[in-house]
Structure 1
Amino acid sequence: MKIKAYAKINISLDVVGKRKEDGYHLLRMIMQNIDLYDEIYVEKRKEGITIDCNKNYVPTDSRNLAYKAAMLFKEKYNIKEGVYINIIKNIPVSAGLAGGSTDGAAVLKLMNKLFEINASDEELMEMGLSLGADIPYCIKGGTALCEGVGEKITPLKPFKDKILVLVKPSFGVSTKEVYKAFDLEKARIHPRTEKLIEAIEKDDLYYVANNMKNLLENVTLRKHNVLIRIKEEMNRYGAVGSMMSGSGPSVFAFFDDMLKAQRCYEKMKENHREVFLTRTI
């Protein structure tokens, strides 16, 4: 059994507070799937959990979210059999694109079918949340408003077929470290989330691209000036607007014209290894 596990970008990321019991940041984000994906294949085995991956830097043991998802699913539904998982990795890692989370979500969905458990999306989302805050969204996908720590999901009108160029620089970023360094008191300008939702409803690329905002840029861009340069360069090549996704370091830019996007893609490839020309889905 095989499935495509899609990457996500953030069209907005607002931090609205902290949860008293554990200090987790409370978020208000507009998430969007893009046509960049890993391929996840799962089949039954007699016992254990075995993972293969086409990229040797991806762990294939209990550090991998796909492994954790399989283990959790087996425990919850008392499954004695094992699974073999094959990951064809295309989404960059430590990139702010939910690459690990989308693989974990895909494993939950595939095992649900494979073992004929018939758990609802809501049950899978609740299970996935204990592994990572992006997993509930990755199970639902599409265009969505995500709130709380990521578990409250409201589907929005699909903002599909928007052209974008995505650049992942040669370094990764720790989400945990970014949130640790984030100071809510210093965040003066917050995303206008409701206005962005209205613009998405109207399919208004120009408003969205010019007004999208990610508060975590306050941390990651200050630490890595190269991201500011990437954004400026993409804008020079005709982007309608550019922004960092998640905690970074990936930067994406929307385009209203495929030729401009193609030119930007080719120029960015001169200096960066991981560059993608893709669309929202």
Structure 2
Amino acid sequence: MTLEYKAYAKINWYLAITGRRDDGYHTLQMLNSRINLFDQMWFTKSNKLSLEIIGNEPLVADNNNLIIKAAKALSTYVNKPLPCQIRIDKKIPVGAGLGGGSANAATTLHALNRLYSLHLPLEALEKIGLTLGADVPFCLQSTPCKVEGIGEILEPISFAHDQYLIIIKPEQSLSTKKVFSRVNLKNLKPSNMNNAIEALKNNDLKRLSQTLRNDLQPLSQALCPEITKALADLTKSGAHFAQMSGSGSSVYGVYKSSERAKITYRDLQKHYNNVYLSTAFGGALPTWSKDLEEIRGD
């Protein structure tokens, strides 16, 4: 039996740093959506754990890969071996702030839970996921979410409409750890994402452009000047607004119609090697929502 999955990337509409814990982890307020950019993954029972990577993104199939870490963490949690042959066709760019590694880890937890009929509730998978990365619990969800703490506090939200995106990934990738190391706690500002949530619920792009926030953006721009150029090019191309996702280096622009986005996408392809036409899902994922309902026990 082989299970096939789409591991969807994410963007941050809102990312505010609210503090830092004694263990060094920064606390955040985030508003996240999954997007129609994904890695294809296949899971087959086997006599050992193995990972095969296809695609153009530079990934190594070793013990540091989040897919392997997720499989081993789940095996440790249930105290039994979970041998599996895993294949991934990698499409989400690495070092981009799009949560590709977290999506892969979350998909692995979800798939092995089904493949081996472990019947673990979503809360258990979230607990395991948090040990792997702050975005993994969110990547186990089927809808947009308000995310707080270090990624463990999740509030599902649905918006009225999908949003049309163009994503540019600069040639330079960024290390999340390196970007966060440049955070100055003295520069933190009060955070309130409610206006951004209401703007998305009402599909009010003008209001949304005035309420978006990413505290990491200026820090990443200092490390990767191409971010600034990509943001400017998206704005010039007719995007209602443009912003960086996560710790970068990817940036996205939001367009009023899919037609406008498609025209701009073709033009930007002449100037950038890594451009993606995508959609931010306003509601449940098209292929994950049923499985997640089964995990929740609803």
TM range (shorter): over 0.9
In the other structure, the counterpart of 2:12 is 10
In the other structure, the counterpart of 2:213 is 213
TM-score, normalised to structure 1, is 0.95
Q: Which amino acid aligns with 1:144?
A: C
Equivalent pairs: percent with the same residue?
A: 32
Aligned residues: 278
Write the distance in 2 (CA, Å) between the matches of 1:39 and 1:209.
32
1:118 partnered with 2:119: yes
In the other structure, the counterpart of 1:239 is 239
Q: Comparing 253-262 with 171-180, which one deviates more in the overlay? A: 253-262
In the other structure, the counterpart of 1:184 is 185
In the other structure, the counterpart of 2:286 is none
- CA contact 2:145–2:156 (8 Å) conserved in 1: yes
Q: Which amino acid aligns with 2:115?
A: L
In the other structure, the counterpart of 1:146 is 147
Matches within 5 A, 1:1-281: 1-20=3-22, 22-47=23-48, 49-55=49-55, 57-158=58-159, 160-188=161-189, 192-281=192-281
What do residues 152-196 of structure 1 show as CA deviations (whole Å, max 9, x unaligned)? 0001123642101000111110000100011131245x5541111
Q: Structure 2: which 5+ residue stretches go unaligned? A: 282-298
What do residues 217-262 of structure 1 show as CA deviations (whole Å, max 9, x unaligned)? 1201122222111111111111000000000000000000233322
What do residues 61-96 of structure 1 show as CA deviations (whole Å, max 9, x unaligned)? 111101100111112112235111001111001110
In the TM superposition, what is the alpha-carbon distance from 1:3 to its structure 2 partner?
1.0
Write the distance in 2 (CA, Å) between the matches of 1:153 and 1:5.
19
Q: Which amino acid aligns with 2:193?
A: T
Check 1:160–1:58 CA distance in 2 against 1; reply closer, same or farther (3 A cut): farther
Write the distance in 2 (CA, Å) between the matches of 1:39 and 1:191.
36
- CA contact 2:170–2:230 (8 Å) conserved in 1: no
Q: Which amino acid aligns with 2:124?
A: E
Q: Structure 1: which 5+ residue stretches go unaligned? A: none
Q: Spell out structure 1 runs of 4+ moving beyond 6 A.
A: none
Write the distance in 1 (CA, Å) between the matches of 2:267 and 2:201.
33
Write the distance in 1 (CA, Å) between the matches of 2:257 and 2:53.
35
CA RMSD after TM alignment: 1.5
Write the distance in 1 (CA, Å) between the matches of 2:83 and 2:224.
43
TM-score, normalised to structure 2, is 0.89
Write the distance in 2 (CA, Å) between the matches of 1:202 and 1:23.
37
- CA contact 1:109–1:124 (8 Å) conserved in 2: yes
Q: Which amino acid aligns with 1:166?
A: I
